[in-house]
Amino acid sequence: MKDEIAPTLPLNETEIDQLDDFLTSDSAPDAAMDVSMMDGFMTALASGPNLMMPGTMLGWIWDAEHGQDLPTFASADESKGIVGLIIRHWNSVNDMLNDASAGYEPLILEHESDGRVISVIDDWCEGYYKGIAVDRTAWAP
């Protein structure tokens, strides 16, 4: 009998907020993705034909323009925690997209305006298209 691997648990709301707070803080480069853009990026990579190594993927999350700038972590523990959340989200996206029964839903940020909740899909779409572009150029022959 084949052992089944349990799917990675998605990030909870507190973890998503923690990750987004870091990515939009002064500790991250100005061109860092927010969590919604990161989710779109990961969705494109997981849906594409090529495997991207985590180190390469992280470079683009930290610096969506050039994939080169790095964040400044306050400590090794902060680095381990933030990178751990990103990798866990990556694994969760992969698990959901590779298991038809999982019901993947994009991580779309929302804000309130005049008492209405408005979905901000632009960042997710930008990340998705960045993922397609990076996937194509990073592995082009």
User: What amino acid occupies position 102?
Assistant: A
Q: What is the pTM of this model?
A: 0.84
Do 110 and 120 form a contact (C-beta atoms < 8 A)? yes
Map out the domains of the chain as residue ranges: 13-138
Residue-level pLDDT, tens digit, the chain, 141 residues: 455 666 678 899 999 999 999 999 999 999 999 999 999 999 999 888 788 888 889 999 999 999 999 999 999 999 999 999 999 999 999 888 887 656 778 777 777 777 887 777 788 888 888 888 877 665 444
Q: How far is CA 124 from the centre of its chain?
A: 9
The answer to whether 123 touches 109, Cβ cutoff 8 Å, is yes
Structure token pair of residue 112 = 């309130």
